[in-house]
Structure 1
Amino acid sequence: MTNSVSLELARLATMKPAELRSRWHEVYRNVAPNISPDLLRRGIAYRLQEKVYGKLPSYIKRELDRLNGKGGTSAPTPSRLGPILPGTRFVREWNGKTIAVTATEGGFEWDNDTYGSLSEIARKVTGAHWSGPRFFGLAAKVA
């Protein structure tokens, strides 16, 4: 990584939300979305690195679009995803808070606790009954 990009990425970690929104506007040339400061940092970091090292190859972008339900295919469902491997990370923003879950051999780790399912975590986060895969965007809504 070039020195200037490394310095800029390190500077992002200390920026306040207002500074991040301003920096977002500079790098994306549009208003920052209403997301957490952590996600703003990640988006800005991605864009800065993209400018230095180039964009994703088109075949990878197509595959990501396909997996995200764009381009005429449906969104992935748990049955199409196959087994969830240890180390897989699930990230969701809920009420301004970033929820990051890691799959482990024995379940799912979140907030220094281990849970047996994503649904347990979704219920704990929201206080309501949720399908864990749906909460984390792995399953489409049933019509």
Structure 2
Amino acid sequence: MNREALSGAWREITNSAPPPKMSQVFMRRVLGFEIQARRSGGLPKALLKELGKSPAIKNGTRSTPILKPGGRLLREWNGVTHVVEVTDSGFSWNGETWRSLSSIARAITGAHWSGPRFFGLNKGKS
């Protein structure tokens, strides 16, 4: 299916427009999941209840993504590329462990920054 056909199927199944930047591959996966879930009677009520408790579901979106240990964040500042690694206990930058991205952003720039914003994890200028 091309994007136009996928968008039509999305509208038919979800009664809403597909997200504008969603890839065709991901659209196929979501549509396949929806069709399969509906054929088997839908999602269990307990799961739907648990999903309803999620702040991301209540607000429609998360302000910042959840970072998983092992991930890396890259940011160039004044010609220097800074690499921050996500760890179980926070973040690692320049051989030190940090509890927040904001403290790393402050150390890099010398000014107060929202860490997620500085590293491009949420909307806004960086």
- Which one has a bigger Cα radius of gyration? 2
Higher RCO, 1 vs 2 (CA within 8 Å, ≥6 residues apart): 1
Query: Normalized against structure 2, the TM-score is what?
Result: 0.49
